[in-house]
Chain A
Amino acid sequence: MKRSLFNILAVLVLMGLILSACGPGAEPTEVIEEPTAPAATEASEEPAATEAPVAVEETVTIGFTSSLTGAQEVSSKRQVNGLNLWMQQVNDAGGIQLSDGTVVKFEAVTYDDESTKERVQELYTRLITEDEADFLISPYSSGLAAAATIIAEQNGKIMITAGAAEDDAYKTGNTSLFQLYTPGSLYLISTVDMLKQLDPEAKIALVHENDKFSTSVMDGLKPYLESQGFEIVMEEGYAGDTPDFGPVINKIVDSGATVLLGGGHYPDGSTLARQLYEREVGLKFISLLVAPADTKFSELGDAALGVATSSQWELAATHTEEEAAALGIEWYGPSGEDFAAAYEAATTEKPTYHVAGGYVAGLVLQKAIEDADSIDPEKVKAALEAMNIFTFYGGIQFDTSAEAHGLQISHLMVVAQWQKNEAGELTRVVIWPADVATADPLYGVPVP
Chain B
Amino acid sequence: MQQINLLLISLPDGILLGFVYGLAAMGLTLIWGVMNVINLSHGPIIALGMFSTFFIYTRLGLNPYLGVIPIAIAGLMLGIVIYAVAVHHVINAPHLSSLLATFSVNMIIIGLGTAALTTSPYNVDFSAGSFQLGSTRLLGSRIIAALVTLLFTGGLYLFLYRTRPGKFIRAVANNRAAAELMGIPSTRILALSFGIGTMLAAVSGGLIATFFPFSILAGGSYELKSFVIGVLGGLGNPIGALFGGLILGVIESSSQAFLESSWVPVIEFGLFVVILLVRPSGLFGAKK
Contacts and interface: CB of A to CB of B under 8 A. Distances in A.
B6 A22 contact: no
Contacts, number: 139
Determine chain B's interface SS by DSSP, over half rule.
Answer: helix
B174 interface: no
Interface string B7-49: 0011001100100000000000000000000000000000000
A264 B279 CA distance: 39
Interface in A97-131: none
Q: Chain B interface residue count: which class?
A: 35 or more
A322 B265 CA distance: 53
B253 A247 contact: yes
Contact of A270 (B107, B130, B213): B213
A243 B212 contact: yes
A300 B130 contact: no
Given A15-B108, A243-B212, A280-B137, A210 B262 contact: yes
Contacts of A73: 118-120
Contact of A5 (B90, B114, B252): B90
A244 B129 CA distance: 17
A248 B253 CA distance: 9
Interface in B101-129: 101, 104, 107-108, 111-112, 114-115, 118-121, 123, 125, 127, 129
A15 to B, nearest CB: 6
A4 B108 contact: no
Given A8-B101, A12-B86, A299-B123, A239 B265 contact: yes
A171 interface: no
Interface string A241-252: 111111110110
Contacts of B111: 16, 19-20, 22-23, 26
Interface in B72-97: 86, 89-90, 92-93, 97
A1 B120 contact: no
Given A280-B137, A448-B127, A8 B114 contact: no
B192 to A, nearest CB: 20
Contacts of B115: 22-24
B114 A25 contact: yes
A448 B79 CA distance: 39
Interface in A26-82: 26, 69-71, 73-74
Contact of B261 (A24, A248, A278): A248
Determine chain A's interface SS by DSSP, over half rule.
Answer: helix
B132 to A, nearest CB: 9
A266 B125 contact: no
B179 interface: no
B111 to A, nearest CB: 4
A5 B89 CA distance: 6
A208 B89 CA distance: 48
Interface string A228-243: 0000000011110111
A296 interface: yes
Interface in A285-323: 296, 299-301, 303
Interface in A252-292: 254, 266-267, 270-271, 274, 278-280
B150 interface: no
B10 to A, nearest CB: 5
Contact of B100 (A9, A22, A266): A9
A13 interface: yes
Contact of A15 (B97, B104, B208, B211): B104
Contacts of B9: 250, 254
B212 A271 contact: yes
Contact of B13 (A19, A242, A247, A254): A247
A301 B100 CA distance: 41
Contacts of B218: 243
A254 to B, nearest CB: 6
A9 B101 contact: yes
A271 B137 contact: no
A74 B114 contact: no
26 contacts: A8-B90, A19-B107, A19-B111, A22-B115, A236-B261, A237-B262, A238-B261, A242-B261, A244-B17, A246-B13, A246-B253, A247-B252, A247-B256, A247-B257, A248-B261, A250-B6, A250-B9, A250-B10, A266-B121, A267-B121, A267-B215, A271-B121, A274-B123, A278-B139, A280-B130, A301-B125
